[in-house]
Structure 1
Amino acid sequence: MSKLLPKPRGTQDILPTKAIIYQQIQQITQNILNRAGYQPVILPTYEYQELFTISVGEATDIIQKEMFAFSDRKGRQLVLRPEGTASVVRLVYQNKLVNPGYPLRLYYWGNMFRYERPQDGRYREFWQLGVELINANGIMADGELLWLIKQIIITFDLKENTVLHWNYLGGSETREKYKSILKEYLLDKELCLDCQRRYQLNPLRILDCKVCKLEKLPSYQKVLEKTELAYLKKITKKLDELKINHYYNKWLVRGLDYYTGIVFELSLNDDKQVILGGGRYDKLFQQLGEKEFPATGFALGVDRLVNYLSLSEKWKTDFKPDVLFLILEESVCSLVASWQEELSKNCQVVSNLEVKKVKNLLKNINYYSPRLAIIIGKKELKEKKVLVKDCQKKKEFIVDQEKLVSWIHNYLIIKQFK
């Protein structure tokens, strides 16, 4: 039996071909958000457990079953972060980031931890991009978040294979009114053990249950006030204007207790996996502190997006350097290093790290599949020339050493940095 321990269940080894897609998603989404005026923050990997107990809700599966909790040496209860919004609220409070009268636009990228049952696209350690718009209310604020979601849909070519499920929960009073109606309706219904617990703590969680699958539930829309119904129509109009494929789902409540107003999930049509979710959480700041700031946001499930994109030829990546140096003589290493320094500013450049005979070095070409292979040894050094092989077009060139860098840039049509 091998002594090598396997990776823990629910984690993943992200190999280069997928790791590159993770990097590309991070870079692309950062560009979208930076251009929209959002600023990055970096959150702690662990927080005090109470932060999530208060914000996420005691009845949620996250609190009841899914937190990675531990005590520090002084007995304080800590958890690996299961989500990012509560941490952002704490960060904003603690660092006094809200400027009255002005919106605060933030985003974060990081790994989250939940002790869930691992399955396709769901891990116990998973990656999220989170976007939060704080101290902003109304259809213009909600519309900005929906516009950002549209940019993500367009950029990653998701329009034909996704639908945005959404609901409007109204204010906290409306939410409590519906809870009472729902509890009365559920009195004589047969509930699973989890839902019996949810019935006491927060009956809205029962709407998420995959076991009970209750039918003919009371309509949430019927408890909305006139102003709330009018706002629901504004959301519908905004989604139509943005031309986002959407579906009004009157049972959608999301898995966290802090949501009020609009809630939404972006699902893949093929397998119904949710790759993005969020909504408005106007009361969360008051729950965790003293002041109330309206806020809305969403999180992108990066792992699921990567799994989806990796099926497309467009996103499949193999490392193939622009330039491969094949060094036949140790005395040329310094010269090659100077070329690498110049070329690596805007090219992918590698070299063999062990001097071998030409026959053995040529195997490197098959291994790396570079665009250009440059062979240099004692003979080339003496003649002040190098042999350049175009491995795609099967052509060879003899190039002066002093012109090599500019020749490569011109040949590959790459602009040099001044």
Structure 2
Amino acid sequence: MTGRSAVQRTRLPNGIRILTERTPHHKGAVALFRFAAGSAYEAPAGWGTAHFLEHMVFQGTPDKNHDTLMMELARLGAVANASTGFESTVYDLTAPASTMLQALEIMAEMLSRFALDEQAVERERDIILEEWRMTRDDPAAWGEDCLYHQVLGDFGHPILGTEETIAAIGRGDLREFAESYYTPENLIVAVAGNLEHERVVEVLARWFGADKRLSKPKPPVRIARSPRLHIDEEHEQEQIFIGFQAPPLSDGKLPAFDVLTSILGGDSWSRLFRKIRNELGLAYSIGGFYSGWQEIGLYGIQSATHPDNAGRLLDEIRREVAAIRHDVTADEIELAKATLRANLLFGVDQLSWRAERLLVDEAVFGRIRPVEEDLRAIANVSRDDVTELAQTVLDLDKSTLVTVGRVPLD
């Protein structure tokens, strides 16, 4: 049930890596195109370029506009979307397995021939500025953006950029970024569904195979933590974020860290949820989140409460963080392991999870890992492993505090 024997991998002569997992029991299919080109590749004056380019890819080729491409996909029952991260930009495509090859033709055409029309650039700039304003007006979303920047420095700057940089990005900047990083050696394609590997390779080789461009070296980027940021605004609730630099995706200690963070801020049985929400009634919701990349990770805790309770909420969060560094029970570890095992096994049934795992395995590990490997790693986590990570990573003296609201906190 959890094996990966149906996975096949082809590397085209120009460096594009194509991975497929054939799943005959699924009627749908998912394809992901990952370019190793994210916001961390931007110079400060060009913050927002990677995200702007993601938008522009959908605006059309020299002979097909956005509406034409999207309607062609819709006729196949297919839907395309994308997301920009710090280290990559991923374009995703879902379709019935019976029409996925045709949908791949359209997606590959769009990704290999996008036009960057000058008028379309100006129209999309206004849309991106509206997206920025929408994020800026949401204290939870803006606080999270700021947390990444404060914990990770320039590596974690806001992916959307700033009003000033968005306004300054031009067609030439977008073209230069694409020519530098949207290159064959930076592209991984993962497809999960009932499709023949050879047919998928044929489609992608037809659209991308003749491209001989090489990538520019990834620019150096500063990773540096800042301890404190308060954004003084009038809101009904005070948003509170605490962040820590955490293990990267490739770190062998990550299964133990997953166990630790499940205990602290995972599901409704976690310490933070039981203490803050159920026992003290200080917040409607509270939880932790992990994001990881090649060389670093971030663990964050987020909650919100009435400004009058903000100081107490922060004190209680810190108290729970301090406590878990020295006191983890065997029962909590078993609860966390059960939760993590279940999440893995549920994921195997989802095509999007399978395709994303292919991408991560190829990009981070350079090999396809069987799910059983993760299950064994979880099973082998010891109490000492969890305690050691708690003491090294969850050090409040090395944490970052971001608050959005009326009350400055320390």
- TM-score w.r.t. the length of structure 1 is 0.20
Name the larger-Rg structure. 1
> Whose helix fraction is larger, Structure 1's or Structure 2's?
2
With CA pairs under 8 Å and 6+ residues apart, which has the higher RCO, 1 or 2? 2
